[in-house]
Amino acid sequence: MTEKRHAPRVDAASALEYHARPRPGKIATAITKPCETQDELSLAYTPGVAAPVRAIAQDPLAAYLYTGKGNLVAVITDGSAVLGLGNVGALAGKPVMEGKAVLFKRFADIDVMDIEVSSPSPYAFIETVASIAPTFGGINLEDIAAPHCFEIERALVERLDIPVFHDDQHGTAIIISAALINAMQVQQKSLNDVKIVCLGAGAAAIASMRLLIKLGARKENIRMVDRSGVIYAGRDKLNSYKQEFAIDTGLRTLAEAMVGADVVVGVSGPNLISVEMVKSMAANPVVFALSNPDPEIDPTLALESRGDLIMATGRSDYPNQVNNVLGFPFIFRGALDVRASCINDEMKIAAVMALAQLAHEPVPESVRRVYRRSEDDMVFGRHYIIPTPFDPRLGERVPPAVAKAAMDTGVARIAYPAHYPKL
């Protein structure tokens, strides 16, 4: 299983050609009602459109009946942290937002408008999003730099009555948590007891550690490491989000923190972890090297360095890909289907558990064909701890779990859909 699987290489010319032809971009709008006759035109626009206008004016929730609001998500960025490219600006982030729209539609049949906001401040961004929010059934925040992303999401969650979800935070946290729960089971360890090193201290890192704590990890067992080393109590110039994970310790470097660690979660940058650091970890360790496209350590080298290691990356050409597309389309699908007013912690945890459980079940042959892997190669264990993105069962398991959690916590506004499995 240490053999490297090479994903198709994509050169810039091919990528530009793909995005330019036969028409620019990756998404478009579609008409969902017939409009071929004078009568149909009169229904689509004036005078017929006055009827739903009056209905919505009397009852705003009628917008879910007479418009596309209930299946429409806004994917919104300020362009301040686009992929690994940094602060490229709002307009340059548009191809990524369109790509996110493709994933929403392909995997969960959710319509998307991508919105790129040139904003001078977090406050201005918040005001812009809040002002346009009535159009949508949900808001997916994307590629917004920390620490502003925390402030932006918190403010919008408080102000809006529709789901607001920063995927770089919570989507990543949900997939990491599901994979780690299963990795702990394979390695016969408990999340409550393991020593965790988190390499990175941005949005994904902080959200992931917060969710793992809700699932049973202990904050005193977490060592968070940023560019300046271990985040320890008393260190200068820590923002409030990093301060949350400052601990009393004499450890100062990543190498020191990794000695005896059970788990390393890397959400930082390439080639920061050495083979020697992996060898210094506890027995039966877990390494999630999630920097893309180049992980914190080459998986082949890590796996060759010790046979008791569970390895995960963000790449499709290795086993155990931690990929946000396992989560956000299906989480929004469940939230939209019960018109949830938010995506709360219980809904996130429900998604975690649904994803973790699915990896224990036999994998359909159709999925094995996509990944060119044998039946023995995709059985729950060291090299298969998380489902793959093209598993059709994701849409069957995750949305109902999220919808049920929304109902159980009182944030759903309509009943559990009839086409979902019975409660």
pLDDT digits (tens, 9 = 90+) for 323-333: 999 999 999 99
Report which secondary-structure segment, H or E, holds 207.
helix 203-214
What's the confidence (pLDDT) of residue 377?
76
pTM listed for this prediction: 0.93
The token duo for 83 is 């992929």
- Whether the CB-CB separation of 403 and 339 falls below 8 Å is answered with no
Residues of the chain with CATH 3.40.50.10380: 16-162
Is residue 4 scored above 70 in pLDDT?
Answer: no
CATH class assigned to 16-162 = alpha beta
Within a 10 A sphere around the Cβ of 186, how many other Cβ atoms? Answer: 16
Residue ranges in 254-314 assigned as alpha helix (H): 254-258, 275-279, 299-305
Is residue 2 scored above 50 in pLDDT?
Answer: no
Is residue 375 scored above 70 in pLDDT?
Answer: no
Length of the chain: 423
Is residue 13 scored above 60 in pLDDT?
Answer: yes
Closest CA to 225 of 264, 173, 183, 282: 264
CA 322, CA 180: separation in Å to the nearest integer?
Answer: 10
pLDDT digits (tens, 9 = 90+) for 391-413: 999 999 999 999 999 999 999 99
Mean pLDDT of all residues in 172-198? 98
CA 289, CA 30: separation in Å to the nearest integer?
Answer: 40
- The three-state secondary structure class of 248 is coil
Residue bearing the bigger pLDDT, 311 or 416: 311
Closest CA to 368 of 379, 358, 357: 379
Mean pLDDT of all residues in 108-132? 97
Cα angle vertex 268, ends 167, 202, to 5°? 50
Burial 140-162 (b: 16+ CB within 10 A, else e): bbbbbbbbbbbbbbebbbeebeb
- Specify burial of residue 62 (Cβ count, 10 A radius: 0-12, 13-18, 19+): middle
What's the confidence (pLDDT) of residue 150?
95
Mean pLDDT of all residues in 330-351? 98
Closest CA to 278 of 249, 255, 295, 300: 255
Within a 10 A sphere around the Cβ of 406, how many other Cβ atoms? Answer: 27
- Whether the CB-CB separation of 64 and 90 falls below 8 Å is answered with no
Residues of the chain with CATH 3.40.50.720: 167-423
What's the confidence (pLDDT) of residue 6?
47
CA 260, CA 195: separation in Å to the nearest integer?
Answer: 8
Active site amino acids: 45, 100
Tell me the DSSP string of 108-169: H--EEEEEE---SSHHHHHHHHHHHGGG-SEEEE-S--TTHHHHHHHHHHHH-SS-EEEIII
What's the confidence (pLDDT) of residue 8?
53
Q: Return the minimum-mean-pLDDT range out of 91-95, 237-241, 281-285.
A: 237-241
Mean pLDDT of all residues in 98-104? 96
For tokens 């191809």, name the residue. 95
- Whether the CB-CB separation of 116 and 142 falls below 8 Å is answered with no
Q: Which residues are paired to 138 by β-bridges?
A: 73
Is residue 343 scored above 70 in pLDDT?
Answer: yes
How many CA within 13 A on the CB side of residue 262?
19
The phi, psi pair for 39, rounded to 5°, reads -65, -45
Written as one letter, the residue type at 53 is: V
pLDDT digits (tens, 9 = 90+) for 205-229: 999 999 999 999 999 999 999 999 9
Report which secondary-structure segment, H or E, holds 197.
strand 196-199
What is the torsional sign of CA 204, 210, 215, 221? positive
What's the confidence (pLDDT) of residue 421?
83
Superfamily holding 167-423: NAD(P)-binding Rossmann-like Domain (3.40.50.720)
Please state, rounded to an integer, the average pLDDT across all residues of the chain: 94
- Whether the CB-CB separation of 220 and 289 falls below 8 Å is answered with no
